[in-house]
Amino acid sequence: MKKKGILNPKISELVARMGHGDMLVVTDRGFPLPMNPSVTVVDVSVGANLPGVVDVLKVILEELEIEEIIIAEETEKISPQIHKEFMKIISEVRNKGNEIRIKVIPHMEFKHMLLRGAEEGKEVKGMVRTGELTPYANIILVSGVTF
C-alpha cells in the first residue's frame, strides 16, 4: 500500500504521464469540464469543500515539476484568501530552487483557453475537479523538467 504522495491512482498516473509544457488544471466544483476523451478528468469531490483545491494542489506539487502557473485575475479580486494560498505554495516551491513564472489572465480567457485547448487535445493532459466551493479557485500547472 502506497503511504505518501499522490494516493489517487488516476492522478498519480496523470502526473507520471506529464511532459514538458503539458498542462494540468486543478479546479473548483463549478468549473466546466471538457468532454474530449483525450483529456483525463478526475473528479475527487466528496462533499462541500472536500477536498479543497489547496489540499489537492499541495499533494500534486510533491510530485509534479512545474515551470509556470496560470490563474485568473478574478481570483485575487474575488477570492483573495485562495490567491494568497496559491502564492504561498508557489513561494515554497520556488524556495527549493525552481523558477516558476506566474501568468494572470481574465477568467473568460482562462476558461476558453482550457476548453478550446482541451477540445483540440492540445497540452491539456488533465483536470482534477475538487469539492472547492470558493469562486475562481482554479489553477493551471504547466509542467517543467527536472534537469
- 20 labelled catalytic: yes
Q: What is the DSSP string of 95-115?
A: TTT---EEEEE-HHHHHHHHH
**Annotated catalytic residue, options 20, 83, 107, 112:** 20
Q: Which residue has the cell 493551471?
A: 140
- Go through 60-94 and write b for each residue having 16 or more CB atoms within 10 A of its CB, e for each that does not: bbeebbbebbbbbebbbeebeebbebbeebbeebe
**Preceding peptide of 51 cis, ω within 30°:** yes
Burial bucket for residue 138 (CB in 10 Å: 0-12, 13-18, 19+): buried
Residues marked active site are found at: 20
